[in-house]
Chain A
Amino acid sequence: MRGIKLDGKKDPTLITWTIKRLRQPARVRIALRQGGRDLAVPCVRHDDSVKAGQVIALPADDFSTPLHASVSGKVMAVGTFAHPFLEDAQAIEIVGDGRGETAPGVGTERLGWESLDRAQLAPLFRQAGLVTMDEAMVPLHVLAQESLTARVRTLVINLCEPEPYVTSEQALAMSHALEIIQGAEILRKAFGAEKITAVLTEDKIQAAELLKSKIYFLKWGHVDVRVLPLVYPQGLDVPLAETLLERKLKLPAEWHRGGTPQDKGLALHRVFRSEGLEILNGASAFAAHEAIVLQKPLFERAVTVGGECVMEPKNLWAPLGLSFQDVFKAAKGLMRDPAKVIAGGPMQGRFQAGLEAMLVKGIPALLALPPEAAPDPAASACIHCGLCIDVCPENLSPVMITLASESGLYEEAASWNAADCIRCGNCTYICPSKRPMDALIDRAIHEQLNSESRL
């Protein structure tokens, strides 16, 4: 695959493999909409005492999952707060009491979890609030139900983590390898898949060896580990699927059209499933293990707190709903004002206007980048150097698409296969003229979709 060897910048958060626990936070705000399409209705009232892992909101429809308190404390309010991905969202505010109590049963091993079958697993996923732990946050019970009508051959556990700074998956794989494999096996059963492939990039060879040793120990012949070359965007779900299938995929219009993260994710998972794949990351497998084996619902996740502005970059077990301010505080705060705060990695993540937004299930990393790392360069004219062609993983000609789009020639842009763009961001990254390639390609695709829907 064509791509870029990005500067990983992962070392500061990999000084130790341990994922640190933070002190009981004073306040969390748990969003009732995590990924836009789901909705939960609060089932607690002001001043109710809650414990970590207790249900505080019930799903409003078949798609949604219940939400759980992430700290023990008192429910303060249900209000509108800043959301990292959505414009504004209702959230339940819990003021922590510092005692760190968990709801009864949470953390105790479920008897007979090995013999749970497909029909039993999906409702358990839902009870535990499991979602895919990337920005899409598609509930796992929805994926499990949809997989009933499709044949999923391979469950892919994507541990590639191709983006710079982000190491939460790698730290998780190093510290909880067995849990990830067992979680993957639970997911495999739930999706009715035949085998599991764990995929890593070659910089995580230690994690790959660790996984292999655990698999050997378990004597599971249906699990294998693949190591892919380290080249961005290898490891994003779409290029990974294309590599495994050895052909290019056609991306659905719903995905291009945008909408909420969950709508996009669902459309993408449907494409993968039609090819017999289900792709989930390591954090999802780990969460499945916690939920099924230890009866621990999803109320915290591993988050990388990184970027040059952070005093002590590290991986944290962060309770959901923690404000970004508090997440940074847990890494000893910021030593200088960041130019950009990003939820997710620097290539795919989302810009955050402030530090008030709360952590949701799909944020693997929180980065505070200084201006020299995340510049806002002024765009100049295209010099036709062809670098964007060299790095496009989909073998497109981004220069032609963007030049056409710039001139308003959207049909011309479409004829250069703009709709095959997977938005990896490589062309924008590499462009020496710093042109807004992705925005121009986006515009071309949207215009094309609009004109198609007008017909």
Chain B
Amino acid sequence: MIRSKTSPSRAPFIRAASTASDFLWKRSAALLIPAAAAVFFYGPAALALFAASAAAAVLAERAMGFILKKPVPFQGGHALGIGLTLALMLPPGLPLWMAVLGAVFAVAVARDAFGGPGQAPLPPILAGFLFLAVSFPLEMRAVTDPVTGHAAAHGLAWLKDGVADSGPHLSRIFMTPQPGGAGMVFFPALAAAGLLLIFQRLVFWELPFLFLAASALTAFGFGEHPAAALAGSNAFAAFFLISEGMTAPHNRHGARFFALLAGFLAAALRQVSGAFDPSAAAVMMVSFLTPWLEEAGRTERGWAPPRGASA
């Protein structure tokens, strides 16, 4: 029989220039915008929090790489993203060692112990957040209002008696700092970072959009002003949590379902309890459903109906 030559090297021979570490470093760079806002409002304490968490995540990755004798993946970009995102979700007054612990847990236990990036059953960021929330519930709840300097309710709980009836309160969401995780203080910073991600095509624009839309509709259903969906932690979840690759389903329909469900749940949870960060909790809960959403999101051919002729 005549055998076709098997090539030691196969087509395509050219590759796109961007690499996974570029991808992850760009993501981390976008996170610096809300981080800068946090430093502006909370001062050096926030800076120390970010630095501690990011450094702990990167060092934990190095240590795990040394112990498991594996090379450091993506030049540290992935761990840096975890450390930074986690720090942005923590209350700014949190003791640094707790932030370090959370970052180390997220990278070393939730990610590397399960085989590294892409292998973890739960999104490492949310696992780290959950770990801290369960271990140190009091400290994780302690949030100061960046304006008054007094203790405030975490996350979106302040909305219940805040902007519920629209009017002048709306401007409070968009233009003034609000209590919550360190990175969630200032909506314009979050929106800028989110748009940056979308325009760099690091995030599929539909997902934040659907998440926020579902959240707004649900809020409206509960008698709140729909703009409540844009408040700090919800916007943060929309731009940084649901679009995080490992969290969302890997087909578009599945990811859309995911965003819708998480958006609904984020608004609904806020009604039920003011505890912690309802948006992060909602994303976490829905991420358990990812395999089923993936399954439900299948269409006959991949993820989208053929568009027909493009010419």
Contacts and interface: CB of A to CB of B under 8 A. Distances in A.
Contacts of B294: 400
B74 A349 contact: no
Given A381-B118, A386-B204, A397-B250, A434 B73 contact: no
Contacts of A247: 306, 308
A243 interface: yes
Q: Is the interface of B mostly helix, strand, loop or mixed?
A: loop
A136 to B, nearest CB: 12
A44 interface: no
Q: A-B pairs with the 3 shortest C-beta distances?
A: A384-B245, A425-B12, A351-B7
Given A390-B201, A397-B251, A420-B301, 12 more contacts: A243-B310, A247-B306, A261-B4, A340-B9, A344-B11, A348-B11, A349-B11, A350-B5, A381-B117, A383-B246, A389-B303, A432-B22
Interface residues of B, number: 50
Given A381-B118, A394-B302, A229 B4 contact: no
A228 B311 contact: yes
Interface string A221-232: 000001111010
B171 interface: no
Contact of A386 (B250, B304, B308): B250
A440 B100 CA distance: 39
A36 B14 contact: no
B134 interface: no
Interface string B289-311: 00000100010011111111111
Interface in A411-454: 416-417, 420, 425, 428-434, 438-439
Contacts of A381: 73, 116-119
A260 B2 contact: yes
Contacts of B13: 340, 342, 346-347, 349, 351, 369, 374
Contacts of A347: 11-14
Contacts of B116: 381
Contacts of A85: 4-5
B8 interface: yes
A87 interface: yes
A21 interface: no
Interface of A: 1, 4, 6, 33, 36-37, 83-87, 164, 226-229, 231, 234, 243-244, 246-248, 258-261, 340, 342, 344, 346-351, 353, 369, 373-377, 380-387, 389-390, 392, 394-397, 399-400, 403, 416-417, 420, 425, 428-434, 438-439
A228 B10 CA distance: 28
Contact of B5 (A86, A373, A433): A86
Given A164-B14, A416-B302, A429-B15, A382 B118 contact: yes
A331 B205 CA distance: 48
A33 B308 CA distance: 39
Interface in B256-311: 294, 298, 301-311
Contact of B4 (A36, A340, A380): A36
B306 A380 contact: no
Contacts of A344: 11
A140 B10 CA distance: 28
B24 interface: yes
Contact of B311 (A243, A375, A439): A243
A4 B306 CA distance: 17
B13 to A, nearest CB: 4
B3 interface: yes
Contacts of B202: 385
Nearest to A347: B12
A244 B309 CA distance: 7
B8 to A, nearest CB: 7
A42 to B, nearest CB: 17
Nearest to A82: B5
